[in-house]
Chain A
């Protein structure tokens, strides 16, 4: 659903844009999984791109938002593959319930 290179870009973005307020471990802990287990990857993308960064939502490019999502998927145990996650990819319909849970 996403590649290692994309997840690496997402990690860099996370550090630059998100770590001011968030720890990476928050994106995969029990509370995160509780909140997102009934939703899809696309829902998470909509949420993040619609509400983050908190004081300037929508200020990253669509590509940057999916890169961050790829990083979060990696944190939650989703395997990397050969195709990047794209803003309109079929992978967005995938349930977010972590494969590890």
Chain B
């Protein structure tokens, strides 16, 4: 059944906390839109998504597929070099025994693995390797920890396959790994790695192919404190009108909404990622010859074909408060740490050159969960972000949830929706001088 745009916007304007459910159901029941991009150009979007990272790009695609007209705006373009989703690769695992909401995340990450594979099956071209690589993930610890126990509890509850290995078995399977003092090993065979930047590019390409609009522009601060939003304004004064708005600004969120999120989202640490050159002709550190790994405080994975940029290791971080200006390469003063860890676990790489370094902001909420919630003073404005180092992998599921929330297909009192609310609590310092 066709729905008139005017009715949709009317539903938006009057819905407030709720939404005209009949309208939304009709929207959802529609076939995919078939209007050509040119026909759509100049039309007012039903939903404007600001931010083309993992949250925004996937949300835009799912919204579009639900039959609404979507414009996606990013200040530098989706998966740009300063975006958190613009990194080379991201790990995909379900070992979340260290978080109160770990079972839920594990479920979404498991579903995401299936969706990444399906995405490759549908969109991979003959010319390029896949986006998702199953690598397996080996978690190594010197002793049993609650993180490991709870991860196994979660996996048992989900029926997810895993193996408990000994250090000897690790060295037998992957001789390039050393296991100093390692007593506890968990192996998740289905874990993997996704090509992050390319993945977002592909999501946005599909979004455009299906009729979505993409604009490059920086959305200026909102005028006024409250009330429904009718349009966002770009730096050149262009107004982009819409019925609903999703702000998926990643680490720009606290700066954009300082009163609401300044003390609820933390972006002060930039994580350090290195790509280490593997010895020439040495295949041991490439897929499928070594798994992804997790040792205390450090994660990484093998070099991926075709370009084999290097063996990935993430350690440490530095401070940066402004994602527009923060330093995105890693100064040599920090390079000892990855070498130390490589020396312990992958000694053949300890002295190898560093091919690339990259730093990006962790973006985590005080609830340590994602935020997918309506702005308290603007009922047609949604905020989506957070998740520290864990949102990318879940993008294919997160985006769908954001779309469902924004279109009222998931109710406000839904348990999951509640868990992603803007938290009431704030980060605090114990005494003054704290500026987020």
Residues of chain A at the chain B interface (Cβ within 8 Å): 11, 19-21, 23-26, 29-31, 34-39, 47, 50-51, 53-57, 75
Contact = CB atoms under 8 A, between A and B. Distances in A.
Nearest to B320: A20
Interface stretch (B23-31, B124-132, B164-172, B311-319): B311-319
B107 to A, nearest CB: 18
B319 A24 contact: no
A18 to B, nearest CB: 11
A72 to B, nearest CB: 11
Contact of B315 (A11, A23, A55): A55
A14 to B, nearest CB: 9
Given A54-B315, A56-B337, A21 B268 contact: yes
Nearest to B337: A55
Contacts of B98: 34-35
A31 B430 contact: no
A55 B266 contact: no
B296 interface: yes
B334 interface: yes
A35 B146 contact: yes
Given A34-B100, A35-B147, A25 B317 contact: no
24 contacts: A11-B430, A20-B318, A20-B319, A21-B268, A21-B269, A21-B319, A24-B428, A25-B427, A25-B428, A26-B427, A29-B366, A29-B368, A30-B100, A31-B99, A31-B100, A35-B98, A35-B99, A51-B296, A54-B316, A55-B316, A55-B334, A55-B337, A57-B297, A57-B337
B100 A38 contact: no
The 9 closest A-B pairs by CB, nearest first: A55-B316, A23-B427, A54-B316, A21-B269, A38-B146, A51-B297, A25-B428, A31-B368, A20-B319
Interface string B247-290: 00000000000000000001011001000000000000000000
A23 B430 CA distance: 9
- Chain B interface size band reads 20 to 34
B429 A23 contact: yes
B269 A20 contact: yes
Contacts of B336: 56
A25 B100 CA distance: 17
Contacts of B269: 20-21
Contacts of B426: 25
B427 to A, nearest CB: 4
A23 B334 contact: no
Given A54-B315, A55-B337, A19 B146 contact: no
B296 A50 contact: yes
Interface in B96-143: 98-100
A23 B433 CA distance: 12
Given A38-B149, A55-B316, 8 more contacts: A21-B268, A25-B429, A36-B146, A50-B296, A55-B315, A56-B316, A57-B297, A57-B337
A24 B337 CA distance: 25
A34 B266 contact: no
B229 to A, nearest CB: 31
A37 B429 CA distance: 22
B409 to A, nearest CB: 29
A17 to B, nearest CB: 12
Nearest to B316: A55
A57 B317 CA distance: 12
A35 B426 CA distance: 19
A54 B297 contact: yes
Interface string B316-357: 111100000000000000101100000000000000000000
Nearest to A11: B430
Contacts of B149: 38
Contacts of B147: 35
Given A23-B266, A34-B100, A38-B146, A54 B317 contact: yes
B297 A34 contact: no
Q: Which of B269, B368, B425 has the most CB of A within 10 A?
A: B368
B317 A21 contact: yes
A26 B268 CA distance: 13
Contacts of B319: 20-21
A23 B337 contact: no
Nearest to B101: A31
Contacts of B428: 23-25
Contacts of A75: 430
Contacts of B146: 35-39
A34 B99 contact: yes
A37 B100 CA distance: 12
Interface string B402-436: 00000000000000000000000111111000000
Nearest to B433: A15
Contacts of A31: 99-100, 368
A25 B147 CA distance: 21
